[in-house]
Structure 1
Amino acid sequence: MPDSHFDRLWDTVTDGEVWDEKVRNRRKSGEVYVAEQTIAPITTSDGAIEGYVAIQSDVTERERLRDRIELVLKELDSLVFEIDIETGLVTRLGAVESFFDVDTDEIPTRRAFQETVVAPEDRDRFDAFIERLRSGESESEVLDFRTTADAGEIRWLRSHAHRESDRRILGLARDVTALKDRELALRQYKQAIESSKDLIAAVDEDFEYLFANEAYRQYHGVESPDIEGRSLRSVLGEEQFEEVEPFVSRALTGRPVQTEVTREHPSRGDRILDVRLFPLEDAEGAVRGVGASMRDVTADREREAAIERESEYRRIMSEVNQALVREDDIDDLAPQIVDIIGSSTPFSCTFIYPLASADPDVICARGENLDEGDVEAIHTRDYIETVFEAGVLRMDDVTEPPLAHHDAEKESHPGVAVALEYENERYGILTVHLPSGSEPTGDDIELLETIGDDVAYAIYHYTLQAEHRLFADIVERIDDPVMLQNRDGTFRVLNDAVAEFARKEKEALIGRDETAFMDEEAAGLIKNRKERVLETEEPQSYQVTPSFPDGRERTFSTTRYPYYDDGDLDGTIAICRDVTDLKNHQRQLRILDRVLRHNVNNNMNVVQGYAEMVEERADGEIAEYAGKIEANSERLLDIADKQRKITDFLSDLPPVETVDVERMLDGTTDRIRSEHPYAEISWQCPGGIHARGNMALKDAIGELLTNSIVHSDREDPVVSVTVSRTGATVTISVVDENEPIPQMERDILTGEVDITALHHGSGLGLWLVKLIVEHADGRLRFQENEPRGNIVRIELPRSTVT
């Protein structure tokens, strides 16, 4: 025994403690042996040591066996530990260096072992694991726990521990990190498969299930998760099994299969499934089964069908629009519309029945078993009234009474009838049948209704064109002089009546003015009126009594209008009437006014239609130019609308009367607020203020409010109205925070510059305000607001109400 060892032994027992250790000694023969020595002091009653008891056991063979086992375990990269049950000391620890890079002597106790070897989150579990062995509750235990080895790397150890005796626990732990990683990956893979929305399953060579995920089981009504071993036939049923068996058999030959099948879902009806089958091979490459992945693609197929249908709708609408633009007669248009709709995918038999035509050639039919006589017979009075009452009539079956279009032998199919009507004028009926087995969708009906509206408008437009030609003929044939004059006052176009009164040939008057056939005074008065029309761009009504060279003298009541060519003011149009036939004069004036309105609005609508078509089909500069044409057409229509309001006002001037200003402002601001809810409109008016005005005054206030709102550069425009009374004048002030009204427009309204500088709708709106105010003997004034904006003042005569 080494001296140092003996010294420690002697120090221990002389201190009254028990010595318990293994020692290596040498026999007399020179052989080294290992002994377990326990030496305890014998003490007297007063604690004095009077002797020692020593027990020694030869454990050489056991230690040799343990050393060999430890060498083997070290080669296996396993950790060996031995824990004294009574003291909790780690009495044996092997291969720890290969795991934790620490010396065995640094882990003397179970607590030190835990702190060194066991990760903090698993120490309570490890402690309970050892305690079950120490208490005898269990003879052997297995525990997986984490350890933080190699610079913080988390690793898993699986420990097999055994209660060797009443004194010792022997444990073996080996690294199972790779196994844990594989188990985790497998769990995650299984969890992904089980939670997948796709239907996933596998069957073996005998068509028996190996597994099926939850989505698959729910889809096929299998409540239990235990599907392994069940036959494919028993789950799918005979009909579905017969459908899929050839595909599964093909996959069992080693070839992947892709197909689509329709299956009935327990709660969602028939669904379309994209099925992918793939062979399952063993390690030697032999096919042992078939895996299946099935995805519900119903929504995808429905979207594809919707896209295809929408594309067809666009094609139909595009071709219809081209026909509408290209043709100018219903006789030419109707057959094309019928062919476009009837040859399309969603629709079949199609016909248009025009009400105004007695010619059977314009009754257009598409369908082998319907001829023109059949179509005409269908359109009874009751059928026509039913369609026009409904607007769009949906027919579930056009082979059955009361709306039978075919005989009963024809396969049942639905239809839709659309009334062709515009501005309460009935033009005809568009009837469209759908293929058997289909039903008209909301999109189908919307498309047909749109086509019906467009066709009705086209017929309306054709009718207007015919009316225009009729009106041109009327203008030429009427006895009243009608003339179109250039900006310089010379004649450009005139009818026979002008030449008759002038007693000159029409050709002799072209390029000359009124001085060619009447006295200078009358000609001068007419010249002034023409200039006034050009300045104001407003119609002028006046009477003139010219003297002709032959001594005749006639009095004419004349209305002169501004004339526009492509939107530009290009002259004046005058209608003259002998006042001896005033009633007839008024009738003719209304006719011409209607012609002018239709010309401006309808021609601009046609321009817009062409511009929209060009913009849709072209690109680059051409599309940009088309957009500008469209925008300018819209502005011209707005100008024409304001011109119409001015004409209406001047044609039927309202009487001047007393106006309750407060009540008028209340109603007017409410109306403008409803039209522009995003604007902030406020007004103040003392009670009891009355002014001389007319019923059109509310339109003047509304025009000023609307003008301030639409020309504001703010997201939430602010405009206010205040009313004041000074002496005999009532002043209504409209105040905004916009850019100042252009000086050009203000100068025109005050008469300081020529009217030709005015080229936009806001100017016409202010002209309407000016005319309304001046008709009531009022004045219109402009002032810039501080720090920004405009103040437009309407000054009216005060009225006293008794």
Structure 2
Amino acid sequence: MTHTPSAGSQDLDRFRRAVEQSASAVFFTDTDGTIQYVNPAFEELTGYDADEAVGRNPRILKSGQLSEEYYERMWGTILDGAVWREEVPNRRSDGGIYYANQTIAPIENGTGEVSGFVAIQNEITEYKRLSSDLDVYETIIQQLEDPVMLQDLDGNFVVVNEAVSDYTGLSTAELIGRDESAFMDEESAAFIADRKRAVLETEAPISYEVTPSFSRTDERRSFSTLRYPYYDADGSLSGTVAICRDFTDLKNREAQLAQYKSAVEGAYDLIAACDADERLLFANGPYCTFHGIDPDSVDGLTLRDVLGEQTYEIAGDRIEQVFGGDSVRYRMQRTHAEQGDRILDIRYYPIGNDGIADIEGSGDASDDSDSVRGSVAIMRDVTDEAEREQHLKVVDRILRHNIRNELNVVHGRAEQIREETDGEIADAADGILAPVERLLETAGKSRAVTEILRKRSDREPVDVAAGCRTAAKWLGKRHPNAHVDVVAPESALAIASPNFGEAIDELLENAVEHAESEAPSVEVRVTEAAESIHVSIGDQNPAISEMDRAILEEGRPPNQLSHGSGLGLWLVYWIVTRSGGSLTVRAVEPQGNLVTIELSRGE
């Protein structure tokens, strides 16, 4: 009799064939965890044949990466009749690790009791590797300070890093699906759109520079960009990738460098720089002209080559001092091929890691000579200045010694004549004494004038309030009958010449000498403004002459026929001018003068 398979047996057979042919690894265990069955996919995935696996515990797959607590939770779940799903690391028979999405489900018998378990594994090792690589690259991209972006064929953002958000002021979520027109000026956005189209048309990378303005951050930045085509997994062109480098600071530095180079090239001073081996790095036109070298052949020349053996031997000790970390300043006579002997004021500054050190003066620029990478030399032709200084010394010596000695002789003889005679002869002697005394006073002031003219017009913070009080005390000692009232704050700092006090002395002396009263009164007032200091000196004397006013205010007599009224007023004008200030003279009613000096406020 023929046996006909039942429907149940047919279903079971179909189920077995499905499991046998499944791409997923499947194995059955009893409630103790002993493996009862494995399918071919299990054998391929784990490396264990069915004969090796059946009868053994799934612990043969244990990787050692999961804790005992994990297994306790898993067994607790499936023994309670629930399904356990988890991503697990397992070990193959050859010791290699693989990753799988694993589902373990209980198998119930006809009475509802758990009689065993079925486990299904789908390998995700490659997926895990790709995910890990993706995480690594995504982390790198997000951590880059350079903006990185992936855009589709329409130019819209698909992927952007945080740097793009920082520049644009939009979050990554707000950027996705939009293009550059969402956050930058139209001209720059259109320019970038043209570059994207060029990459898509040629399928070749291009580089370009662009300086967009970002509307949300109110910034304008310059970028150097590399843009190249992007292909999907099928090899189809799907968009472009761009990496941008912000070179705004570099561009600004280049602009500043160009300005400095222009200033250095246009300077009258001789300027050059050398490295630690004393090889020239740069020399401006005046330096090359003075030393007779070709500006295009500066590289490679040494200081010894340029200066010559004799000059180098003289300057060698100072150059060595500079490379020890100190700034050096000195004067030296050099011979020019056409202009003859010239006197140069020479300054050497060491170049450290942070640039030129100790600009203000010499000495102790650095305690670490190893940090000196080179030197800058600035040379100024001061021949005319030196000659003028020598001339002033000669004039000063003549005024203070020769003429003064002769005038003292005349003064002494005139006094002798006045004492030994009377009448018209004695009166004539008086007439001689008055101009001689004025000339002696002028000769005495000549030293102060020549000292001021010889010095550099340096300025520094000066307490003019204290200076005015000192000048008033000095005047009181010379003229006991005079009264000077000083109205001033405790301190008033102004930027002025160190000799500013001498100008106040001269103005007070002038006010007393020209007073009509035997007990003259002078007021000195110091006032402070936001950016300036005013010193006013008021008297009750007749109006200051047009000639004296022109000297005080403009440093010139009103016309060529006018003669100076003495060096005192000229001294005032020169000191105020060298202080960077200005002076005005105003007549006041009913009678008097107000001389006001304005200076820049100091700190």
TM-score calculated relative to the size of structure 2: 0.40
| Greater Rg over alpha carbons, structure | 1
Greater RCO (CA < 8 Å, at least 6 residues apart): 2
TM-score calculated relative to the size of structure 1: 0.31
